[in-house]
Chain A
Amino acid sequence: MVLTGAEIVIRCLQEEKVEYVFGYPGGAVLYIYDALFQQEDVRHVLVRHEQAAVHAADGFARSTQKVGVALVTSGPGATNAVTGIATAFCDSIPMVIISGQVPTGAIGQDAFQEVDTVGITRPCVKHNFLVRDVRDIATTMKKAFYLAQSGRPGPVLVDIPKDITIAKCEFEYPKEISMRSYNPVVKGHQGQIKKAVQLLLEAKRPMIYAGGGVVLSDASEQLTKLTRLLGYPITTTLMGLGGYPASDRQYLGMPGMHGTYEANMSMHYSDVLLAVGARFDDRVVGDPANFAEEPRKIIHVDIDPSSISKRVRVDVPIVGDVKDVLDEMIRQLEAGPARPDISAWWKQVEEWRSRDCMGYKNSDEIIKPQFVVQTLWEVTGGDAFVSSDVGQHQMWAAQYYRFDKPRRWLNSGGLGTMGVGMPYAMGAQLAHPGAQVACITGEASIQMNIQELSTCKQFRLPIKICNLNNRYLGMVRQWQQLFHGQRYSESYMDSLPDFAKLAESYGHVGIRIDKPCDVEGALREAFTTHKNDLVFLDFQVDQTENVYPMVKGGKGLTEMILSAEDL
């Protein structure tokens, strides 16, 4: 069948079973939008800013394991998308971004709305393409979807000049694609896995440290099985939350800068550390030199060889898909000798846990942000999709909403992008129409994509926005208080809107909550009475609350500030 380039683009999306495209039209993509208009399989979500299009597609992908798709025009459309692309790249989220480009003849002529999109996005995509021939569209789209989901996932951008979308050719979607230069390893090396299992069984102070790779590989079932088989303590990173049930006794909470005392101490003093789909990020291990001081054997399972021995030297590297490797480990463990007795180690771990580092002083007078998150967890039965923005509220969400399932926690872990919260919630709500979706945010972050309240109205997305409003860029203020002599340079949020009224003006429900005794009621009202409405809950929280525990930047994991009393 002979089709135009634009029709081919849409046909490719249909072939890939894409349900939603998040986008914003413009000159260079007019023909693609025209083709989109003339079919019903692929639905389009019109956002109010391209950054939100990419974030929403990203949130859709995070909450489903499907590829998120965004469509933007050339020039400013593409540059607005860059933050979204970089955010997805840092967290290895499978996405395909289609960008319009000026006609091939105009490329390089400084044409209207021309920008070197492939050049600008090169460092923040898994791969990108500029399509120069209509006959290449189908293969390129197939490659894009294949690359985005295979190996270590990531965003792939396809830049399509306008004239290519008008040109015609015979359409045939390739059934399969193989690329001689791209062959990601899936199966882990048998010998290495055997070595790892042996090491795990010889351990006296073992520890499991799991990251976002577990969630991306859909391996939380395997991780849970393995951890229970071994009976060892486990911590999951910010990106790995939900990869192992937080309510389980073996779970020690999150490690790192704002991790628990027990997770950090156990990481540091372990003699065998099993790292699974995690990358020893600076926010997790702090200073690598300090971390390396304590002798321990490290087993590292990761699909990306370049993640292994990047910041921390590893003893048993296993390159492969986390799910496959864990399956094989379980198989060998079930056939192998008995687990060692590590009761002495557990005794030590429990002693660390008994410090109750997550305890905070609640108040009857003023709303504590931790209390809001905790109440949200109770009200939603711990089963909501929760997105967050970036800052203090993100850490409180990670610490106090105890995720028992994967893909429920949506946040920008790697890039730390403020403004992702609402679009992430939008993507998750579209993917799971009946589910409870909450966005934990702050008065600063929410303003970075506040325009999406309009999109939420148009598409009737009943997300619950929990704004922990402390009238500060809280995390900046916290660092200024602790490390910059309390000089609060530009971290005060002045001239704030009345968020409740603002939400109402978009046609949503807005509630302002000032007292701790009203927190639960407001949340219940939002999830019951206003089940089908977007509710903007503007919690006026304690302005001076800090996130603890805390490891200062560049310090070792054992040097923790547990509460304000340690200052």
Chain B
Amino acid sequence: MRHVISLLIENESGALSRVSGLFSARGYNIESLTVAPTEDASMSRMTIVTIGSDEIIEQITKQLNKLVEVVKVVDISEAAHIERELMLVKVRATGKDREEMKRTADIFRARIIDVTDASYVVELTGNQAKLDAFTSAIDPALILETVRSGVCGIGRGDRVLKL
């Protein structure tokens, strides 16, 4: 089962490697991992997408909690939550492909944020499935470069991950 684990961690050097080291040392999967400071600069928030049985996910959350610098851990996929990922795609945009690319971007409510006479950079936000759908909707031969941020997640309603 796919799980989205959110955690707050002290914003100290080496904190990220403690988390990633834990996953590799214990043989857990990481599908994506994102990390950035929060509004409280002393803390970072991490979103980890991982796959595992219930027993493994239980161990993952326990092991993460055991790390001295980890402040809080929540499996946000246990309840209603929102996931978003950002993707930037550089595509070839010449001739009839130029117009077609614009149309496809509009359909996906993507934005074109860089334009040259031969290329666009398309910015697209959504869940993983939406980004995948966009990638498969355009001609793969036109894709020059793709970069994805990895998943950011947050619980719906009054579920709050805060100190």
Assuming A123-B21, A180-B163, is B58 touching A309 (CB within 8 A)?
yes
Pick from B14, B62, B69, B163: contact of A306, CB under 8 Å: B62
Cβ contact within 8 Å between A310 and B59: yes
Using CB atoms, name the residue of chain A closest to B60: A306
Assuming A118-B14, A130-B14, is B68 touching A182 (CB within 8 A)?
yes
For residue B127, CB closer than 8 A to chain A, the reply is no
Contact with A along B59-76 (1 / 0, CB 8 A): 100110110111100000
Using CB atoms, name the residue of chain B closest to A122: B21
Chain B residues near A327 (CB-CB < 8 A): none
For residue A179, CB closer than 8 A to chain B, the reply is yes
Contact with A along B112-132 (1 / 0, CB 8 A): 000000000000000000000
Cβ contact within 8 Å between A126 and B65: no
For residue B78, CB closer than 8 A to chain A, the reply is no
Assuming A122-B17, A123-B21, is B69 touching A181 (CB within 8 A)?
yes
Chain B residues near A304 (CB-CB < 8 A): 66
C-alpha gap A123/B23 in the complex (Å): 11
Chain B residues near A122 (CB-CB < 8 A): 14, 17-18, 21
Using CB atoms, name the residue of chain A closest to B163: A180
Assuming A309-B55, A309-B58, A310-B59, is B66 touching A181 (CB within 8 A)?
no
Contact with A along B14-31 (1 / 0, CB 8 A): 100110010001000000
Chain B residues near A127 (CB-CB < 8 A): 68-69
For residue A119, CB closer than 8 A to chain B, the reply is yes
Assuming A122-B17, A122-B18, A123-B25, is B68 touching A305 (CB within 8 A)?
no
For residue A147, CB closer than 8 A to chain B, the reply is yes
Chain A residues near B71 (CB-CB < 8 A): 180-181
Closest CB-CB distance, A129 to chain B, in whole Å?
9
Contact with B along A218-257 (1 / 0, CB 8 A): 0000000000000000000000000000000000000000
Closest CB-CB distance, B57 to chain A, in whole Å?
12
C-alpha gap A126/B63 in the complex (Å): 12
Chain B residues near A181 (CB-CB < 8 A): 9-10, 68-71
Closest CB-CB distance, B38 to chain A, in whole Å?
14
Contact with B along A125-145 (1 / 0, CB 8 A): 011001000000000000000
Closest CB-CB distance, B161 to chain A, in whole Å?
14
C-alpha gap A306/B59 in the complex (Å): 6
Assuming A306-B63, A309-B58, is B17 touching A119 (CB within 8 A)?
yes
Using CB atoms, name the residue of chain B closest to A181: B71
C-alpha gap A424/B19 in the complex (Å): 33
Closest CB-CB distance, B132 to chain A, in whole Å?
34
Chain B residues near A119 (CB-CB < 8 A): 14, 17
Closest CB-CB distance, B59 to chain A, in whole Å?
6
Interface size class of B (residues with CB under 8 A): 20 to 34
Within 8 A of A (CB), among B54-110: 55, 58-59, 62-63, 65-66, 68-71
Chain B residues near A305 (CB-CB < 8 A): 62, 65-66
Contact with B along A187-219 (1 / 0, CB 8 A): 000000000000000000000000000000000
Q: Which of B9, B58, B63, B66 has the most CB atoms of chain A within a 10 A radius of its CB?
A: B66
Closest CB-CB distance, B107 to chain A, in whole Å?
45
Closest CB-CB distance, A221 to chain B, in whole Å?
28
Closest CB-CB distance, B11 to chain A, in whole Å?
11
Closest CB-CB distance, A319 to chain B, in whole Å?
10
Within 8 A of A (CB), among B1-57: 9-10, 13-14, 17-18, 21, 25, 55
Chain A residues near B58 (CB-CB < 8 A): 309
C-alpha gap A304/B63 in the complex (Å): 10
Closest CB-CB distance, A141 to chain B, in whole Å?
15
Chain B residues near A309 (CB-CB < 8 A): 55, 58
C-alpha gap A180/B10 in the complex (Å): 9
Contact with B along A306-317 (1 / 0, CB 8 A): 100110000000
Using CB atoms, name the residue of chain B closest to A143: B68
C-alpha gap A557/B59 in the complex (Å): 25
Chain A residues near B68 (CB-CB < 8 A): 126-127, 147, 179, 181-182
Cβ contact within 8 Å between B25 and A306: no
Chain A residues near B69 (CB-CB < 8 A): 127, 181
Chain A residues near B25 (CB-CB < 8 A): 123
Chain B residues near A310 (CB-CB < 8 A): 59
Chain B residues near A180 (CB-CB < 8 A): 71, 163
C-alpha gap A72/B69 in the complex (Å): 25
Closest CB-CB distance, A456 to chain B, in whole Å?
36
Closest CB-CB distance, A125 to chain B, in whole Å?
10
Within 8 A of B (CB), among A290-344: 304-306, 309-310
Within 8 A of B (CB), among A102-134: 118-119, 122-123, 126-127, 130
C-alpha gap A28/B70 in the complex (Å): 31
Using CB atoms, name the residue of chain A closest to B18: A122
C-alpha gap A309/B9 in the complex (Å): 25
C-alpha gap A512/B17 in the complex (Å): 52
Within 8 A of B (CB), among A160-179: 179
Within 8 A of A (CB), among B114-163: 163
C-alpha gap A118/B18 in the complex (Å): 10
Closest CB-CB distance, A313 to chain B, in whole Å?
8
Chain A residues near B70 (CB-CB < 8 A): 181
C-alpha gap A147/B62 in the complex (Å): 18
Cβ contact within 8 Å between A306 and B55: no
Closest CB-CB distance, A121 to chain B, in whole Å?
11
Chain A residues near B17 (CB-CB < 8 A): 119, 122
Closest CB-CB distance, B25 to chain A, in whole Å?
5
Using CB atoms, name the residue of chain B closest to A305: B62
Closest CB-CB distance, B66 to chain A, in whole Å?
5
C-alpha gap A21/B58 in the complex (Å): 39
Contact with B along A47-91 (1 / 0, CB 8 A): 000000000000000000000000000000000000000000000
Closest CB-CB distance, A133 to chain B, in whole Å?
13
Closest CB-CB distance, A117 to chain B, in whole Å?
12
Pairs across A and B, CB under 8 Å, 10 listed: A122-B14, A122-B18, A123-B25, A126-B68, A147-B68, A181-B10, A181-B68, A181-B70, A305-B62, A306-B65
Supplied contacts A123-B21, A147-B68, 14 more A-B pairs, CB within 8 Å:
A119-B14, A119-B17, A122-B14, A126-B68, A127-B69, A179-B68, A180-B163, A181-B9, A181-B68, A304-B66, A305-B66, A306-B65, A306-B66, A309-B58
> Which 6 A-B residue pairings sit nearest by Cβ, starting from the closest?
A306-B62, A127-B68, A181-B71, A305-B62, A123-B25, A182-B68
Contacts from A to B (Cβ < 8 Å)? 118-119, 122-123, 126-127, 130, 147, 179-182, 304-306, 309-310
